[in-house]
Chains A and B, each alone.
Chain A
Amino acid sequence: MALDKNGIAKRIAKELKDGYYVNLGIGIPTLVANHVPEGMTVEFQSENGVLGMGPFPVEGEEDADLINAGKQTITVKDGASFFDSAMSFAMIRGQHVQLTVLGAMEVSENGDIANWKIPGKMVKGMGGAMDLVASAENIIVAMTHTNKAGESKLLKSCSLPLTGVGCVKKIVTDLAVLEVSPDGGFILLEVAPGVTVEEVKSKTEGKLIVPDNVSEVAL
């Protein structure tokens, strides 16, 4: 069975390491915060100027001055800090934030990512996505393998306007876990339970590299 949103988040959470500073994008990436392995300390950064984000507040304790980059009310954990937007992006560009997880509309086999603009549709803006993808050492994309029309989102080259070039390292979809090869191509690392290599192959437009051993995603 293909992974649902929480399954994708849970699989990505396995990439976390103790002491990591992590920036989570809007959507599926946000769910990763719910699956931090027991006994591990991970600090979440939000680019609007907070490090050490906690859970959403309980009703009645919302503070208009305390939000995340998705403009949602949040809380902070002990040890949190606040800072301005220039310092926030200094953390990001300066690679002090060790992992960025974000969604995408398309990823190409050389690691290009498109996730901010669809020509002909209202363009809302890239927000901090271009800064994040251009800077992070480790970028994991969380997305569905195909779009609503059933077309592959893992392509030879992106058809949509790019957010960044050659930056994606790993992709976790509902069907598989893949790594972008430095020489180009998606290396198939794991398939979701019940998903066959053939299915992943048929739904990946870009070059798929299938090693001898492809394990099943373990959550």
Chain B
Amino acid sequence: MKKGDSLLKMVISLGVITCISAALLAWVYSITADPIKQAEREKQAEAIKAVTPVYDNDPIAEEDDVMPVGEPAPLAVFPARRNGNLVGAAVESYSSDGFSGEISVMYGFDINGNVTGYEVLNHTETPGLGDKMDEWFRDSLSTQRNIIGKDPAKTDMKVSKDGGDIDGITAATITSRAFLDALRRAHNAFIQYRDSEKR
């Protein structure tokens, strides 16, 4: 040990470096916080627009939390209205049964509960396998895969392997199950929201 390497010097140098790093991070955070929030809001708004029927209100401003029966956590519902009448909604749903962690998907429904679209928001599924879900379930050429236009109340939203009506992603059955699990959850929340509004 050199004489210069006293305990005090070590503490001070490490302390100074940590402080400079913290200051730098705080500064970068302060200038990026707003653009990050903006980017996330835009992503959410785009997803809502992509999945719901045409609307003329601001679904994000009317966001409502719905607690589906028997669920641990509420889901965010973004109602779409035309001339003040409810025409459908986007529901941000999730499933924790993914192949590697939680998946979060925005589903859109029309007033009758038919699926009008979906956008995968977040997932950590295997690249090349499970991450195909963002296209797989809206393939208009395959009625077995496509969920758009189907009513989860009438269609058995399970993969065909489990006796359902939907063909899961090849080699990614677990991801497919999680995706449909999230869809059922979103549908329940939407029906509950719609029925509570009627009353």
A in complex with B: no
> Which residues of B are in contact with A by a Cβ distance under 8 Å?
none
